Amino acid sequence: MYANWAANLLVCAATLGAVLSCVWVHYEGLTLLSRWMARMHERPMRRRVLYMMLGMLLLHVAEIWIFGLVLWGMLHWPEAGTLVGDPGPTLLDAVYFSAMSYTTVGFGDVVPVGPIRFLAGTEAITGLVLIGWTISFTALEMERFWRVR
């Protein structure tokens, strides 16, 4: 366990904020996307599917950026931890690490050390859940497209 309880609590609170933000963004984004797709019934199905897929990808990119910004903020407080293999706490490096965590790819070229490991692990679980939610949404929307067709 890490000795600095303030750092641990801050990382936990920031992680909770990032998770809640991402779930809210995902829910609202899929809701808007679903409503928008229902209004595009006069458009060709291929175009609707393309717009749907691009919309969902943008949602995931936004969620990666949310976690990346939280991580970047945490990296400015040394007690919260650091990224080994990272030349410095740059925003794009934090977003890169966030993308690797969110998608559970985890190349291993950048490794978290300290309390921020909790943020990285929780981001991986959150990414899996939100990607699964997207897959479910896609299946339901495609079923609706094919039923209308």
Q: In whole angstroms, give the CA distance from residue 99 to residue 124.
A: 9
- Model confidence pTM above 0.85: yes
- Rounded average pLDDT per 10-residue block, the chain, 149 residues: 83 97 97 87 78 94 98 93 83 94 91 94 97 93 74
Give me the CATH topology for the region 5-148: Helix Hairpins (1.10.287)
Q: In whole angstroms, give the CA distance from residue 73 to residue 65.
A: 12
By DSSP bridging, strand 111-113 and strand 82-84 are antiparallel
Q: In whole angstroms, give the CA distance from residue 85 to residue 90.
A: 12
Count of CB atoms situated within 10 Å of the CB of 37? 18
The SS3 assignment for 90 reads: coil
Query: Domain map of the chain by residue range?
Result: 5-148
